[in-house]
Structure 1
């Protein structure tokens, strides 16, 4: 992995969502003082605003597990670190499995997760029903469950990162478009062009979420990240729902139910097959099949009422892993994007890792699996714990 440390010049973060603001916060927290965040609109109003806030460690690959596990302490101590409040509810994640092959995969995943320090259990159907009362078990083979997993507000996360960053001198330029790079004779970054003028820069990191491919083209680089619309729906209160229940995913359908404290829930997960698009719109035709999938697995949700729906864009890669690291062809240009729905939950560890990498020459964990060049090399490892 390439060694690259900062020499005191300006770091420009392109994108003011949860990844970009985390990077700025963590670099500023370590004493670096020349940091500018460019946001074409307002921080946190893009993909982050539409995220549902899940935080889990149950992944199938080492790098995804480690990023999530390393982020957990930050979520627990968010206010101490940033000075802003955060309601991180550790209600747990429960994956419900009715297919033998899927169960085999999730059992192997759990072994890897435990080897990396994650407290995860493989449950039989009755144990799954004990964790989430009312689950249909007659066609269930098993489940995996981690009580440490949970959820929080992505909007609060951005607000906290910004508050902590502002106290350390980070500059945020709102309503400012990134227009491209200024490079020297060797092709290395020297400045950025913006709608408000040119800024000198030693290092530029593209954290532009679903728009990162377009932003990369402005730099002469193809970043293989495609936007995919995903949607979620809110329900009216039901007596069977309460905030102590885990976020539960029926892996057969991909449908999930995310109970909230008020007895309502966020539901979704049956639209992973939606084609790539840069436009997100609620597809109300999916509500009927979603409700059917949920009431099959959770019969007590029969009669659930959807009160509203919303849609956002997920920044997806071919292997459901992010791209984090340098662009080898353009010295000084980096990418932190393509998180495939996992950016919010992994943002603390990503910000920490990049800050350490730039200041010491190496990240605190092996990020080689997230290198941009893996797509050209065709050395992809698929993340299987997705829905």
Structure 2
């Protein structure tokens, strides 16, 4: 019987590289009673057969920070533990076979410079010099990262486990967790059983789900949603090749392939466009270091292209054809953090074939989060609270996973939409919008009209890094909103009703702004953390003495509800998600008052319905509530109408708008309009590590209130002064496009990167927002510099502003 304690501070379920990393990092922070339980043998699920590619550059600054940390950690582990990790900095090359891919790589190289990652754009001849075995036919260029590496995945995991043991962790193999005891929002302990029939219970303060492809099942045991699906993952290893010496890792994403030299052999791995989900009927209980049946027909197209690209593969012979399972999430980002619905259940799972390069950083970040009770920095990309409850649906996971594996090597075009498992959540107006040319995108499962095709135009995306096929459509939609009137569907807004005798005092505790306002008042506010960082960006409408409506972005509804519930404590208030109960139609533009007056007998004047207030109205034959707010910088109303009356409200508005030139608009227009007005976008421009004052949102914080989360941090920052400021930039050349993460150069030096970007059709150029260091400087000094933005390696002059370039005094929204 294993020697297991009856109590632990934390039980980690799963002994792959991620579970070992979490144990290692918790013990490094001084946690001693750490127990890691592995059902079979350490690394026996997915870790043992991973390719072991260790790259630094990821899609965002913080994911890159974690990948760089992993690399540095693995470089030092061997000295600390005596376990050989096989870690070598061999460098990596990624090549482009199309102009679009080359632009993607050039943009990634610019981003890498902003993130402090060493990278070099190289010509086809330079690719050939660094990788002489490659057939250069069709190669247009590439990028070289000298510090990328490769390692032995199983030994890295075993080294992490040894490091954890050396600092007191209990790591036990062949012990399966069979049950989890819960009391309300907390887990109280785990039941275990070993292979000899021994069993017991460990009471614990926390558990961490590091169960890899079993993570979904373990999540269900804890009452939490961990959406992931195992897929088959293929690679081949050649026979030894005479004279083959150490080479960089090579990626040819346009052929879905990667190559790795290892001990004189060549490995070819694949991320095929349509993958094969596995384990739909459950993973066999006996699974341990198992391989899946070969499927040569499935792999053959990749191999055929690879033999042409790497001629030596055609003559070397195949030593191993390997097929093993790995788990994939619905959006290709892994799951990390405190699970919604529970207060002591943590998740680190679903690593989408990048578990080895991610595990060190993910373990470090999660351990720090567990130690401090708050995220060490913005982890929004991977925070488990981004997952919607429906995404745990098994059929959804199987359908989506056929696509997500291949997306790792597909072109990462701006605005690229997932093609599988679509149509789950639809607004009541979906059919009416589709009939009028709407082209839908998906966010948190919601189908949302992103743009409208003209008659005769194909109502679908044609992706590119240049101007896409909807560019002119969006320009026309924006022109309507800026000069006349536009209508768009915002039913996907999250809507949380907070009510009860202490709703006001509770929201005053959580929100930076003052909630002690009359009924009908709308307050723009943030939920702050104790550091003054922004956890949520919402509007709160007081409906009555005891009831408020918190309106959140669609993507963060669950995260925002979770934040509220975690801080509810003993306040006498109830939180209810009422998102599906009301549709929301936005009517925006200088003629929006005329349109509202045409559909309702109520008064929309400033005297009766000033900016920042809500009122009940009659609309057509029905009823609605209008909120006078705007995310596009124009006079306008958001119309909240019960789902049953939404179609009638829509038809009434369309009929009345027919003679006024009313235009249907989409989300891309809204993004262009909001960036012209320098309105912040949560998750890009404002995150939990962006101080509310440095984000330029001090006007929304009322420190006169005696107490709220983050108040002390706001007062401290006011006294100490800002270390950085969020600026708005406009490219002076109207041609280049901005998306986000482009480097900001100040007087020739990289000082930051854009947090968001879009085209400002009204302002006549691409617009970006981004933070610039400013310690000890006045606003005038910050603006006195020369600014440029690096767009795919070309430095483009930019105007900078602290005030919105469009309608800086907000006269239009208050008209």
Aligned positions of 1:337-356 closer than 5 A: 337-356=349-368
Counterpart of 1:177 in 2: which secondary structure?
strand
Indicate if the aligned counterparts of 2:271 and 2:408 stay in contact, CA closer than 8 A.
no
Q: State the match for 2:185 in structure 1.
A: 187
Cα contact 1:17–1:158 (8 A) shared by 2: yes
Counterpart mapping for 1:86-101 below 5 A: 86-101=85-100
1:57 CA displacement:
1.6
| Offset, 1:241 | 2.7
C-alpha change, 1:82 and 1:350, in structure 2 (3 Å) is farther
Give the whole-Å Cα distance in 2 for the aligned partners of 1:376 and 1:163: 36
76-85 or 94-103, which deviates more:
76-85
Displacement after TM superposition at 1:286 (Å): 4.5
1:270–1:330 CA distance, 2 compared to 1 (3 A): closer
Helix, strand or coil at the partner of 2:18: helix
1:49-100 alpha-carbon deviations (Å, 9 max, x no partner)? 1111110123333343222112121111112333422221111111111122
Asked if 2 retains the 8 angstrom alpha-carbon contact of 1:15 and 1:209, the reply is yes
Which range moved further: 318-327 or 84-93?
84-93
Taking the TM superposition and a 5 Å limit, the aligned residue runs for 1:102-251 are 102-184=101-183, 186-195=184-193, 196-239=199-242, 241-243=244-246, 245-251=247-253
What does 1:4-153 correspond to in 2, within 5 Å?
10-153=9-152
Give the conservation status (yes or no) of the 8 Å contact 2:241–2:265.
yes
Once the two structures are overlaid, the 10-residue window that deviates more, 26-35 or 293-302, is 293-302
Identify which of 298, 312, 315 aligns with 1:303: 315
SS in 1 for 2:234: strand
Gapped runs of 5+ residues in structure 1? 1-7
Q: Deviations 1:244-270 (Å, cap 9, x if unpaired)? A: x1111211111222112x321111215
Aligned partners of 2:332 and 2:408 also within 8 Å: no
> Equivalents in 1 of 2:10, 2:82: separation in Å?
23
Q: By percentage of residues, which structure has more strand?
A: 2
Q: Output the CA distance in 2 between the equivalents of 1:339 and 1:295.
A: 29
- Relative to the length of structure 2, the TM-score reads 0.44
Q: Specify the alignment match of 2:735 in structure 1.
A: none
Note if contact 1:182-1:190 (Cα within 8 Å) is conserved in structure 2. Answer: yes
Give yes or no for contact 2:37–2:172 (8 Å, CA) kept in 1.
yes
**Deviation by residue 1:26-57 (Cα, 9 ceiling, x = unmatched):** 11122210111111101111101111111012
Greater alpha carbon shift after TM alignment, 128-137 vs 78-87: 78-87
Alignment partner, residue 276 of structure 1: 277
Q: Structure 1: how far apart are the matches of 2:140 and 2:408?
A: 17
Alpha-carbon distance, 1:202 to partner: 0.6
Note if contact 1:240-1:300 (Cα within 8 Å) is conserved in structure 2. no
Partners of 2:118 and 2:243 in 1: CA distance: 27
What SS is found at the alignment partner of 1:373?
A: helix
Residue 325 of structure 1 corresponds to 337
Alpha-carbon distance in 1 for matches of 2:215, 2:364 = 21
Distance change in 2, residues 1:386/1:66 (3 Å): farther
Per-residue deviation at 1:288?
Answer: 4.0
Is the contact made by 2:225 and 2:389 (CA closer than 8 Å) also made in structure 1?
A: no
How far apart, in 1, do the equivalents of 2:74 and 2:60 lie?
A: 21
Distance 2:302 2:409 in 1: 17
Specify which of 361, 364, 371 is matched with residue 383 of structure 2. 371
State the secondary structure of the residue aligned to 2:218: helix
Structure 1 position 147, deviation (Å): 1.3
Displacement after TM superposition at 1:187 (Å): 2.4
Contact kept? 2:256, 2:302, Cα under 8 Å: no
Instruction: Kindly provide the CA deviation profile for residues 125-173 of structure 1, in whole angstroms up to 9, marking residues without a partner as x.
Output: 1111111113222311111111111111011112211211111111122
| Cα 1:270/1:17, change in 2 over 3 Å | closer
- Kept in 1, the 8 Å contact 2:244–2:265? The answer is yes
* Equivalent residue number for residue 555 of structure 2: none
Tell me by how many angstroms 1:385 deviates: 5.3
Aligned partners of 1:178 and 1:194 also within 8 Å: yes
Cα displacement (A) at 1:328: 2.0
Q: What's the counterpart of residue 5 of structure 1?
A: none
Cα 1:126–1:240 shift into 2, 3 Å? farther
Kindly indicate whether the alpha-carbon contact (under 8 Å) linking 1:58 and 1:65 is maintained by their aligned counterparts in 2.
yes
Deviation at 1:359, TM superposition (A): 1.6
SS in 1 for 2:333: coil
The answer for the alignment partner of 1:263 in structure 2 is 264
Quote the offset at 1:205 in angstroms.
0.7
Would you say the 8 A contact 2:8–2:35 is kept in 1? no
Which gives a bigger RCO, structure 1 or 2 (Cα 8 Å, sep 6+)?
1
CA distance in 2, matches of 1:309, 1:270: 15
Residue 349 of structure 1: CA displacement? 1.1
> What does the per-residue CA deviation read over 1:262-281, in whole Å, with 9 as the maximum and x for residues that have no partner?
32111121545222112733
1:270-316 Cα deviation digits (max 9, x unpaired): 54522211273322335543332112222344313101122221111
Shift in CA distance, 178/188, structure 1 to aligned 2, threshold 3 Å: same
Once residues 72 and 157 of structure 1 are traced to their aligned partners in structure 2, the CA distance between those partners, rounded to angstroms, is: 11
Distance 1:87 1:53, change over 3 A: same
Distance 2:336 2:190 in 1: 20
The one of 358, 363, 369 equivalent to 2:370 is 358
SS at match of 2:316: coil
SS at match of 1:157: helix
